[in-house]
Amino acid sequence: MSAVDLVIHGGTLVTPEAVFRASIAVREGRIALIGAEDLMPKAAARLDAQGLHILPGLVDVHVHLREPGMTAKEDWASGTAAAAAGGVTTVLDMPNTVPPTASVAALQQKLSLAAAKAHVDFGAYALLAEDSLAQLEALKDAGAIGFKLYMGSSTGDLPIPSDGAILEGFETIARLGLRCAVHAENGGVIARREARLKAAGRADALAHLASRPEVAEEEALARALAFARVTGARLHIAHVSAERSLPLIRAAKADGVDVTAETCPQYLLLTAEAMRASGGQRLRVNPPLRAPRNQDPLWRALTEGTVDLIATDHAPHLPVEKSAARVWDCACGLPGLETLLPLLLTEVAEGRLALTDLPRLTAQNPSRAFGLYPQKGALSIGSDADFALVDLNRSGQITASGLKTRAGWTPFEGRAVMGAVAMTLVRGRVVMRDGEIIGPKGWGQALRPAMPNPAPRNPQLALPAILSLDNIPF
């Protein structure tokens, strides 16, 4: 074999199947060879990974990098620096920016902002909105990684589409084949309960939880799955937080619905108990932190595959936006890109997760869900040379100082962790070493999804088909 650009030697590779010592050769940004050191070709550069474990770079399918429009909270440079610091080499950005990513022009604007600033590779979701249905196909052609549907309110206060528009939108995306991430909370339930709580003078942290009960998640999820079942739309259920959601997802999968699901560290590691403490209102997030009884079922769902992956829902706001006395005045969302991997490594150290679970839940399954596998998410020949090099034995404490996100705080402040990200590589280039960002802005590239062929169900019953027929089928 001719010379390669880089050989990483001395490290221990972690895949969903095995943990093994090997060297990795990289050529033109891709993995060229994995094997014994004495088989490695001559390399222009060598990287010593002695004492480190090498994971496929993490693929976070749920981040809010806030640009355009809210760059005081985060932008593509700060948000992807946080990603690189956390071993995350691919981020998929949500469309609730200003303007929302609901038109081809807005998508193109976001992708060019990202291309100029990103340290890691990226994709951008387009919004499935009441008035964007006619543009979904053009949004796909313009490079959307998938779609996002808000069934309940969140940052940006985007209008929630009607059920009719959701069903029609699903008919369209079933034909397009891209996956639609769903924020499954019933907007009507939330609006009424929040108004009633406010009118009663409640503004304590747990009033937020009361305004968004578990049944709001369960009902919206059931509705989205029913629409997916009849149309063949591919769904991704964002931030599953409640035990009652799990049987619905399990049944839909058993029924052949192409649905993936995520949960987030905040639902696995924090509970509503934490909102009782002083300052608890800054833990306001949607869906809310829930009763402790939800946690064990969520962990089990990760092991058995009902929940496919872990994402951060990195949703930065400034400390001043999180510190209002009334919970209703605190912005919703938590930062998480930099703390994800240390927190999960700690769970590995404590025996709650196997080391081999990490690449499955944070790289392989996320990239598969969005048509990026095996370009992303794999330690395989031909895959992009995206790596998180971690030290399993480095203990520490999570603290906001030193974080790259503009959020300036973390819900995990003071938490002891076992395991640290030592180095991050994106397409063969070191972008972070020992907490320092050393890759240039603009190294990150836009990703195009390669989804399996669309598999619409009942296309003869879909609105566009029906509208042009003389005799309506039944």
User: Which amino acid is it at 124?
Assistant: A
Q: What distance in Å separates the CA atoms of residue 262 and residue 241, rounded to the nearest whole number?
A: 9
Among 403, 213, 388, 385, residue whose Cα is nearest residue 291: 213
CA triplet 204, 207, 211: central angle to 5 degrees?
Answer: 155
- Give the nearer residue to Zn ion in terms of CB position, either 56 or 156: 156
Residue 313 makes contact with Zn ion by CB under 5 A: yes
Residue nearest to Zn ion (CB): 313
| ω into 161 cis (within 30 of 0) | no
CB of 204 to Zn ion, least distance (A): 24
Residue 357 makes contact with Zn ion by CB under 5 A: no
Of 13-21, 185-193, 250-258, 311-319, the window that binds Zn ion (rule: CB under 5 A) is 311-319
Of 100-108, 222-230, 306-314, 384-392, the window that binds Zn ion (rule: CB under 5 A) is 306-314
Q: What is the DSSP string of 153-166?
A: --TT-PPPPPHHHH
- Give the nearer residue to Zn ion in terms of CB position, either 194 or 313: 313
CB of 153 to Zn ion, least distance (A): 12
CB of 244 to Zn ion, least distance (A): 20
**Whether the Cβ atoms of residue 456 and residue 469 lie closer than 8 Å to each other:** no
CB of 363 to Zn ion, least distance (A): 20
Q: What distance in Å separates the CA atoms of residue 340 and residue 120, rounded to the nearest whole number?
A: 16
- Give the nearer residue to Zn ion in terms of CB position, either 243 or 313: 313
Burial of residue 299 (CB within 10 Å: 0-12, 13-18, 19+) is: middle
- Give the nearer residue to Zn ion in terms of CB position, either 60 or 313: 313
CB of 199 to Zn ion, least distance (A): 28
Residue 93 makes contact with Zn ion by CB under 5 A: no
CB of 180 to Zn ion, least distance (A): 14
CB of 285 to Zn ion, least distance (A): 9
Of 47-55, 110-118, 242-250, 307-315, the window that binds Zn ion (rule: CB under 5 A) is 307-315
- Give the nearer residue to Zn ion in terms of CB position, either 313 or 386: 313
* Polymer length in residues for the chain: 474
Task: Read off the tokens for 173.
Answer: 């995306």
- Give the nearer residue to Zn ion in terms of CB position, either 16 or 161: 161
| Ordered strands of the 259-263 beta sheet | 58-63, 88-93, 121-127, 146-150, 179-183, 234-237, 259-263, 309-310
- Give the nearer residue to Zn ion in terms of CB position, either 308 or 313: 313
Dihedral sign, Cα of residue 146, residue 147, residue 152, residue 157: positive
**Whether the Cβ atoms of residue 402 and residue 394 lie closer than 8 Å to each other:** no
Cβ contacts of 387 within 8 Å, gap of 6 or more: 8, 24, 54, 55, 56, 57, 89, 379, 423, 424, 425
- Give the nearer residue to Zn ion in terms of CB position, either 155 or 375: 155
Residue 338 makes contact with Zn ion by CB under 5 A: no
Among 145, 141, 228, residue whose Cα is nearest residue 184: 228
Q: What distance in Å separates the CA atoms of residue 89 and residue 447, rounded to the nearest whole number?
A: 12
- Give the nearer residue to Zn ion in terms of CB position, either 61 or 197: 61
Q: What is the DSSP string of 316-375?
A: ---HHHH--SSGGGSPP-B--TTTHHHHHHHHHHTTSS-TTHHHIIIIIHHHHHTT-TTT
Of 131-139, 290-298, 313-321, 371-379, the window that binds Zn ion (rule: CB under 5 A) is 313-321
CB of 166 to Zn ion, least distance (A): 18
Of 42-50, 165-173, 305-313, 447-455, the window that binds Zn ion (rule: CB under 5 A) is 305-313
- Give the nearer residue to Zn ion in terms of CB position, either 152 or 371: 152
CB of 286 to Zn ion, least distance (A): 8
Binding site for Zn ion (CB under 5 A): 313
